[in-house]
Chains A and B, each alone.
Chain A
Amino acid sequence: MKIYFDGCSHTWGSELTDLNSRYSKIISNYYDAEEYNIAERGGSDKRMVRNLLEHDLTQYDMFVIQMTGKNRTEYYYNGWKKVNWNTIFYKVDFKGKDSVSKEIKQTWHDYYTLIHTEELADSNQLINYTVIKGLIEHKPHVIIGIDNSDKLPLNFSYNKDLPRAKGGHPSELGHNKIASDIINENLL
C-alpha cells in the first residue's frame, strides 16, 4: 500500500526536529503503507496540480493534498521554480545574480504589484482545486488546507486552532492532530 502526499512546508514537515513525526509518516505508519511525500517548502497549488498530472495515479491507494497560499505559483527556467508572494514579502526562486535572474525577479515583482489581484488568486485557487478533486475523485482522498482561504469545500481547513511551532508550521502536536483527523475519515 502506498499513500501520496503533496503540499507545502506544512506537509514537508518544516520546524519539526524529526521528519518521522510529520503527519504523512504517522498516517503511513498507521496503515502500514509506504509514505510518498513530495511536498516542498514554498510549493504552490499549481505545483500540486502539475505533480498529479505527471504521476501515474493508479500506483497509489490514497491521496492527501494540502492546498496552500493562493498567491504562490511557479515558472519554468532550467527546471520548475517557486514564486511566493504576500503583502509583507515576496520570494522568487532564483539562484543566479546574473542579469537574466534579475529581470525574472523584477518581472514577477511588477506582475504581483499590478496584475495579480485577490480575484485572480481566488479564481486560480478554484481552478486548481477543481482539477485536483477531479483527478482523484475515484480514489480515497482528502484535500486539506492550512492557512488558506475557507472558500473551498476542503475536508479540513486548519487555522489558528492548530498547535504550531514558532515559525507558524504545525508543531508535533499539530501534525498528530492532522494525522488523527485524516485517519478518522476511515478512507482505507
Chain B
Amino acid sequence: MKIYFDGCSNTVGSELKDPLNTRFSKLVCNHFNAEEYNIGQVSGSDRRMARNLLEHDLTQYDMFVIQLTQKARSEYWCERDKRWKVLRHLLKEKDQTDHYKMQVANIWKNFLKNVYTDELGTSNQLIYYTLMKILLKDRPHVIIGIDFFHEFFIGDDNNISAPVDIRYKHGNPKRLNGKIVRSKTKKCIPRYDGGHPTVEGHRYIADDIIEWFS
C-alpha cells in the first residue's frame, strides 16, 4: 500500500525536530502499514499540488491526502533553470544577488500588492480544489486545509476558503486536564512559534485522517 501526500511546509514537517518520523504523513502510514509518498514542499502552493496530481500516475497510490495552503501562493516556470519554482515576494539573503530572482520577486510583490484580491485567491483555490476532487473522485482521498498567519500583505484573507474535508483554523485548541478536546466544529492544532504544527499537532491531524479513512 502506498499513500500520496502533498501540501506545504505543514506536510513537510517544518519546525519538527524529527520530521521524517513525527510528521502526520508518517504517522498515517505507520497506522496503515503503508509506504509514505510525501511530496510536500516548503512554501508550496495549491497550484503546485494541482499540477502534481496531473503529472502523476494516480493508479500507483491507494490513498491521497492533499493539504491546501495559503491561497495567495503560486508558482512559475523558470526558463533559466528549466523547472517550476515557488513565487516569493521575499528572498533569502543568499538569493538577493541573483538579479533574475530579484526581478521575479519584485514583480510578485507588486502583483500581491496591486492585483491580488481575496476574490481572485478564493476563485483560484476553488478551481484547484475542484480539479483535485475531479481527479480523485474514484479514489480514497481527503483534502485538508491549514490556516496560516504568514503573509504580510494579505492577513486573514489568506485563509482556506475552499470547502475542504477537514480544516484547521487559527487559535489554540481547548484542553481538559492538559489533553486536547477534539472539536468537530472548530479544529485548532497546537503550533510552534513559526506557526507549524507541533508533534502533538501532527498526531492530531494524523488521527483525523486515520478516522476519515477508517
Q: Which A positions have Cβ atoms within 8 angstroms of B?
A: 46, 49-50, 53, 75-77, 80, 100, 103-104, 106-108, 110-111, 114-117, 119-120, 123, 126-128, 130-131, 133-135
Contact = CB atoms under 8 A, between A and B. Distances in A.
Interface of A is mostly: helix
B107 A114 contact: yes
A107 B77 contact: no
A119 B128 CA distance: 18
Given A120-B77, A127-B51, A130-B54, A107 B115 contact: yes
* B interface residue count range (under 10 / 10 to 19 / 20 to 34 / 35 or more): 20 to 34
Contacts of B107: 107, 110-111, 114-115
Contacts of B110: 103, 106-107, 110
Contacts of B76: 115-117, 120
Contacts of B128: 127
Contact of B127 (A50, A117, A126): A50
B119 A76 contact: yes
Given A46-B127, A111-B111, A117 B54 contact: no
Contact of A104 (B77, B108, B115, B134): B115
Interface of B: 47, 50-51, 54, 76-77, 79, 87, 103-104, 107-108, 110-111, 114-117, 119-120, 123, 126-128, 130-131, 134-135, 137
A124 to B, nearest CB: 9
A123 B51 contact: yes
A117 B77 contact: yes
A50 B123 contact: yes
Contacts of A111: 107, 111, 115
